Structure 1
Amino acid sequence: MELAQVRLLVTDFPACYRFYADVLGLEPQSGAADGPYEKFSPAAGSAGIALQDRAMMARVLDELAGPATGHRSLIALRVDDLDSYCEQITSRGAALLHGPAPLTDRMRVAHLEDPEGNLVELQQWLLPRG
């Protein structure tokens, strides 16, 4: 088994598309800025993040028809230089909720939300994972 993607169900697809493509700098697979689906890949490869129009999925799964409340997901993205990356994304309109700051003796993190309120954690590993 392998992780194919993390998919976020969103109501404002264009705003989320711009956030992941233009603010975070992830590469869109097809350029479908208006949806209803788009997959983004980090430059270094690995599993991607996908956006799915919430209304489209509500037709398939009735329990998702209502609005999401609170943090219902967290996407963790690893970066090489957390401070530099945070400077880049704040200059493109991101608003950090927390950090950059140490989380453990092995990792520094920063947190922000996408336009739908999904929590994004940016990680910089200070020591090799073991």
Structure 2
Amino acid sequence: MELAQIRLLVTDFRGCYRFYRDVLGLTPQFEAEEGPYAKFTCDEGSAGLALQDRAQLAGLLGELTTPPAGHRSLVALRVDDLDAYCERITGRGAVLAHGPAPLTDRMRAAHLTDPEGNLVELQQWLTLRTAS
């Protein structure tokens, strides 16, 4: 398993994008000031920091991202075989709140919460993003 990213769920996407890019000096992997998603490069070999528009994610996941849960962050873990991994962890008592299912045209995902209610996304990439 590989830590894919720490993702902050934000309502002011443009303001947060500019903060991480312009104030903290992180490099966007692709231009996306209007959102709904952006990933920033940190140090080589480390997981990236990502921003996700809360409303856009709520459209996909519904109640997982709206009150009372109201998650502010999401830990994304990349796995090679999402179905097999989900089968293993549900066998250990995990309860999936969503998926495994397509999340985008390039990724399948499953979601669950930890004992404190933090949102965890398990992702399997079908195709990688190519540089333009």
TM-score, structure 2 normalization: 0.48
TM-score, structure 1 normalization: 0.49
